[in-house]
Amino acid sequence: MCSLSSWIANVYSSFVLFRLESKVAIVTGAASGIGEEAVRLFAENGASVVVADVQDELGQKVVASIGHEKVSYRHCDVRDENQVQETVSYALEKYGSLDIFFSNAGVIGPLTGILDLDIQGFDNTMATNVRGAAATIKHAARAMVDRKICGSIICTTSVAASLGGAGPHAYTTSKHALLGLVRTACHELGKYGIRVNCISPFGVGTPLSCRAYNKEASEVEADTCAVANLKGIVLKARHVAEAALFLASDESAYISGHNLAVDGGFTAKEPSTAKTGIGLTKFLYGHETSNEMIEELNQSVKTTSQFAGIFLDLTTSNETFNYASRSIIFPHLYKF
């Protein structure tokens, strides 16, 4: 005879833990970081999941660690629409349905300032973060409409989708565009019962961000915590995946067109009250400037409430310095 606590645990597992029971999901950018955590969480909650990525070895390791019964790998470069379409077809053939598409693949792109903007890098960022997401929404929605599935499509944006200056130019532009795409897709697909939402994380110490900024995850997390609004907790990829789980599940059945900020209230703060605690690390732009110019910038930032909610603590010696060796508006926030 089982104890009361065991009975409660069994009931809890039956009704709460398996929030995606019998559902089929595709997750792009799923071999590491936020995508990997989402795959694990979706599978834990009963979903069959296609791990879609260009990192084949890592993707196969994710599948092997979870088990081949419910999870499988598919190579998918979202910049290639044919690969996106083939990934959707693969999920339909293997699992018989498509209920959830988590469009999470993305890149940070070039870190240069606008005066030295790498246009080729800009194009690649837009191709991955925007055109790739458009292809995933298109083919996921087609599959859902054809089969009369009231599905959920989720895209990963960023706090940079709501702020200017919280990321590099290409990255910020792509995330603003993606937010607009989610809202217009929500408007069109609502008549089919398809929900389209996005998630905007704060800085996360994922492998992608660590490689981009040549830092350990602990260093990225420390930088993020220094400027975070919500203290006492470190944002992890798992927290973002939990937001995706909510938007994928029936618990959000009447939520569509929403940008769910997983940022500890960072973007909700009054612009004039936010202040960095990290001073200077790396300016993005490659131009030399004088102390007088630095002071002018410092004063203008402190008196301009529309400056992305950030004060810069600008300190330097009497020497001029190169912007490329400093930091403007925490580049570690560019996420994934």
Choice among 12, 90, 95, 171 that is catalytic = 171
| Phi and psi based region of residue 231 (left: phi greater than 0; alpha: psi -120 to 50; beta: remaining) | beta
Tokens of 211: 């490689």
SS3 content of the chain, % helix, strand, coil (to 5): 50, 10, 40
Rounded Cα gap, residues 93 and 33, in angstroms: 27
Rounded Cα gap, residues 238 and 37, in angstroms: 6
CA-based angle 258:264:266, to the nearest 5? 85
Q: Answer yes or no: 213 catalytic.
A: no
Strands (E), the chain: 24-28, 48-53, 71-75, 100-103, 152-156, 195-201, 259-262, 288-289, 321-322
Rounded Cα gap, residues 262 and 305, in angstroms: 23
Beta bridge partners of 53: 75
Amino acid identity, position 118:
D
DSSP helix/strand/coil, 53: strand
Rounded Cα gap, residues 126 and 170, in angstroms: 7
Task: List active site positions.
Answer: 171
